[in-house]
Amino acid sequence: MTEWWRGAVIYQVYPRSFADSNGDGIGDLQGLQARLDYIAALGVDAIWISPFFSSPMRDFGYDVADFCAVDPMFGRLADFDAVVRRAHELGLKVVIDQVYSHSSDQHPWFADSRSSRDSARADWYVWADAKPDGSPPNNWQSLFLGPAWTWDARRGQYYLHNFLREQPDLNLLNPAVQDALLEVARFWLERGVDGFRVDAVSHFTHDAELRDNPSRDGGRRTRPVDFQTLRYNADRPETLAFLERLRAVLDAYPQRFALGEIGGPDSAERSLAPYLGRERLHTAYSFLFLHADAPTPAFVRAAVEEWERLHAGGWPTWVFSNHDAPRAVSRWGGSGPPDHYAKLLNALLLALRGSVCLYQGEELGLPQAHVPFERLRDPEAIANWPQTLGRDGARTPIPWHAERVHGGFSEVEPWLPLDPAHLAMAVDRQLGVAGSVLETTRQLLGLRRRHPALVHGTIRFDDVAEPLLAFSRRLPGDEVYCVFNLGAAPRRALFPAGQPWQVIAARGAAHTGADGLALEPYGFALAVPAP
């Protein structure tokens, strides 16, 4: 049986910023349902809905207070069911986040755990005594700045939180905690979801001895955690047994899959192979591009070939942007017109071997939005301001109608301001307009559906001079040659010798005889053997 997720394009919906149906300035599930036809018309295979669970929203849904309830700001459980039904009617699979590393400090489990060292769930979270001088149990640092330990006077102990202090870490070394989380997975599978994006897999388990992390040499250091190699509070072998239990649950439901987020400071420097395979996660998305300074031809080739080498037989998932990273158009900052650069990036992303996560707004070419300091909501962005672009600028509302108030996202002021510069890129300004980023992306997605080589084919890179990047995607009976000019000056590219070629998609490309192309800055072309 064909595995639907292998080679699928998964459109990530950040529901707070997608579509507001009830006029409160926050996107919701009914708004998403109303826009599912738009997503289906893009030609993607699935949607991934970022957290919509009951939450105090200290980390905008990744601090879950009830894993099996919809937060009222997003609607009701019946609204989620309606999204699943409509998506399936449109041929879209539905993927949702599962947050197993931690919960909100408002979760009833944590309230019970902190109440007493003898409570029913006393060891459902990671608790430890202070050192003799009152300091934390070890040197572990939070990804959100500062120590990964917070003192709790009620327990008279420290609790672990690899993220915000309001996100205490669940103790997945405890089989009872694993059992409870697997029941959560079954709850959503029974409601018809087709897969999970599994959050923060790297931090599922910890060293039971609570040993200090060693220091980390080199690399970018913007946070205390960047000074450490996360040997004892991340990427622990104890995680693998839980993943095997999760896979067994998924395998009991036909055609379900799990996409892992396996991140952290060292994520671009190690193999993900232990997490993947027939008994663990189906795939994981690579952080290589999310961490990259620029997508040079050498870097792109090395990233793909490194995956093939480190994860023999594993299936990659590629992502250029998401809700946790500044938008790629701005992060990489091509010097040409932004829409040309956006088309190039989308063409490259959709031509790589693997599955793809396409973040909402990438199909429009949205750059990182400007959010004034006084309007920032993301705790990481506030703490690091102005040193980083932050995450808020990638989470602003989608502009649906250029002439409507707040871009047609809402009738009231949105939770994050819509950047006026985005209005010129609104959906209604691009839909049906030949050559727009939106229509170019739809064209590329259509080609991916019509050419199985782009979905399942091998990839072989050609040795061409930078800033050109060229590779072939091949299956028996189908071949697509892909060439990109990743530079700011025109370049000439040659097709592989031995046969004529027919261009099936291009931007800024012109034939220069039977064997070559003239590529404008940030131009690209996809071609097939001529009939």
Over the chain (531 residues), what is each successive 10-residue block's mean pLDDT?
91 98 98 98 98 96 98 98 98 98 98 97 98 98 92 97 97 98 98 98 97 87 88 95 98 97 64 88 91 91 88 86 93 83 97 97 95 86 73 95 97 96 97 98 97 96 97 97 96 90 94 85 96 86
Examine the residue annotation and report whether 199 is marked as an active-site residue of this protein.
yes
Q: What is the pLDDT of residue 386?
A: 72
109 burial level (CB within 10 Å; 0-12, 13-18, 19+): buried
Q: What is the DSSP letter of 293?
A: S
* Whole-number Å distance between alpha carbons of 158 and 123: 13
Q: What is the pLDDT of residue 423?
A: 97
**Which of 20, 45, 199, 392 is flagged as catalytic?**
199
Cα torsion through 143, 145, 146, 148, rounded to 10:
-20
Tell me the torsion sign for CA atoms 367, 297, 283, 363. positive
Q: What are the angstrom distances between the C-alpha of 298 and each of 26, 301, 346, 463, 504?
A: 41, 5, 18, 10, 25
Give the pair of three-digit tokens for residue 400: 């649906």
Q: What is the pLDDT of residue 322?
A: 95
Contacts of 269 (CB under 8 A, 6+ apart): none
Q: What is the pLDDT of residue 349?
A: 98
Q: What is the pLDDT of residue 266?
A: 57
Domain definitions of the chain by residue range: 9-102+175-445, 457-529
H or E, element range at 34: helix 29-34
476 burial level (CB within 10 Å; 0-12, 13-18, 19+): exposed
Q: What is the pLDDT of residue 389?
A: 66
Give me Rg for the CA atoms of the chain.
Answer: 23
**CATH superfamily assigned to domain 457-529:** Golgi alpha-mannosidase II (2.60.40.1180)
Between β-strands 491-494 and 516-529, what pairing exists: parallel, antiparallel or unpaired? antiparallel
* Whole-number Å distance between alpha carbons of 497 and 491: 18
Note whether 8 and 2 are within 8 A (CB).
no
Peptide bond into 386 cis (omega under 30): yes
Q: What is the pLDDT of residue 511?
A: 81
**Which of 169, 261, 392, 479 is flagged as catalytic?**
261
Q: What is the pLDDT of residue 145?
A: 78
Per residue in 264-288, pLDDT (tens digit) is: 655 554 578 889 988 999 999 888 8
Instruction: Kindly report the CATH class assigned to 9-102+175-445.
Output: alpha beta
Q: What are the angstrom distances between the C-alpha of 208 and each of 237, 242, 467?
A: 12, 16, 49
Range 482-503 burial, b when 16+ CB lie within 10 A, else e:
bbbbbbeeebebebeeeeebeb
